[in-house]
Chains A and B, each alone.
Chain A
Amino acid sequence: MAWVNAIIQGILTGGLYALFACGLSLMFGVMKVVNLAHGDLATVAGYIGIGIIAATHMPFLWSVPIVVLAMAVVGYVLQRTLIQAALRRGELTTLIVTFGLSMVIENGLLQFFSANNRGLGVGDNIVTASFSIGSQIQVAWLDVIIFVLAIVVLLGLQYYMSSTKYGRLIRAVADDREAAQLCGADYRHVFGVAAAIAFGTVALAGMAYGMTTVISPTTGTDTILLFAFAAVVIGGLGSLWGTLIGGIILGVAQQIGAQLNISYELLAGYIVFLAVLVIRPQGLTTRRSQS
């Protein structure tokens, strides 16, 4: 029964990891940007949430759209300025710039918020409430909500990218920037919008993480970026639903590892990541020809 529990918990955690990963995957898919500051930006979103709630005492649910919107604006501006400037100078420049950004954000948070852990005060018993299946399995409502949220976000992204006019424009620009530009699309603006969407998911990821556990300035790199990346690699580079499968596999591996020995939790996740890298470097969901 403990194993069934581990698998159920792992699957639910996988939703959170998919939420971490889809922004990273989207940025790479559209702009070919690997954003090394991805995790730190999620942490920033968490801190903004904590700050807003502490300052205005507004209900938690109200703060979510505000933070998502704020991060979307940050994403658009960052894409139009820093990332666009780096992109123009090449792929290695974007890496160096986003790595620099990551270190600046992390140390900035350390400077202003200290190294202490902080939780996102939801002020509701939904965080602690749970229901039980059988006698031994306890499932937290919060984990279920985050899992559902991840699926809603992925469905939304899927619908937006394939069925709306602007989503198709984003894909057109991602496929062939010059051709799209010849047809009258301003690719920089399109990139900005794509970044805004990606940062919106990043904001949700950061807040969800702040609700399930606590965040500290180093959470972004220690946890969010690395888990997001592991999920992306396991699921397959550039595949949206792959991030969910990758996230679930990572989550299940971690929970099974933790079941063996609590200190194996993270290591087990990385071992699966390495195994996928060895056996199927193109990921589990993509076909070989696409990689």
Chain B
Amino acid sequence: MSMNSILGVFAKSPIKPLQEHITKVHKCAEHLVPFFKAVYANDWKKAANIRAELSQLEKGADRLKRELRTNLPKGLFMPIDRTDLLELVTQQDKIANTAKDISGRVLGRQLEIPAPIQKEFIEYLIRCIDTAGFAVKAIDELDELLETGFQGKELQIIDNLLTELDTVEDTTDSMQIALRHSLHGIEQDINPVDVVFLYNIIEWIGDLADFAERVGDRLELMLARS
């Protein structure tokens, strides 16, 4: 009987799952802050617990990603391009994957962050996660954008958010350079292998912001195309 009704025409909206996905991804990245606080305190047990939570969130994000993909068959008529949407969720997912990799690497090696750069390091981390926060805000506007038929002031709101995202991402770049410089200053006192991995971790944290920026780019492209 259900096929008989006109409401079969309406397919599940991809916007809500997309928003859920990026919210989860962002939450996943946010777990890195308490994680590193535990690392600073040398509380590896607590760090392992937080890492387990983070991993759980990442799995949840993966599930949402798969769900979104399977709910997006070819025969859908949408106001946004299907390939753009798929690309968007792929980029979003990379943020969660990176967060998981960072925590895994640090925990696996019991990698300590040297005391002189600890403050600078956590500020940098928070800034990078903030960048992802702007991506969340922009994606969160999508249902409002749909309400206004992809035009008008909502488009402006998203545009402003994306400009802010870019600005924040730029500051993370300069923060990364400064942090690397500080690390360079103290690296003769640290185990050389650890130094290599510290540079690695700093780079990966920067990737969080980079992927967030790519989410913004994709979104911009998607909206420009339409």
Question: Does chain A bind chain B?
Answer: no
B residues adjacent to A (C-beta < 8 A): none
A residues adjacent to B (C-beta < 8 A): none
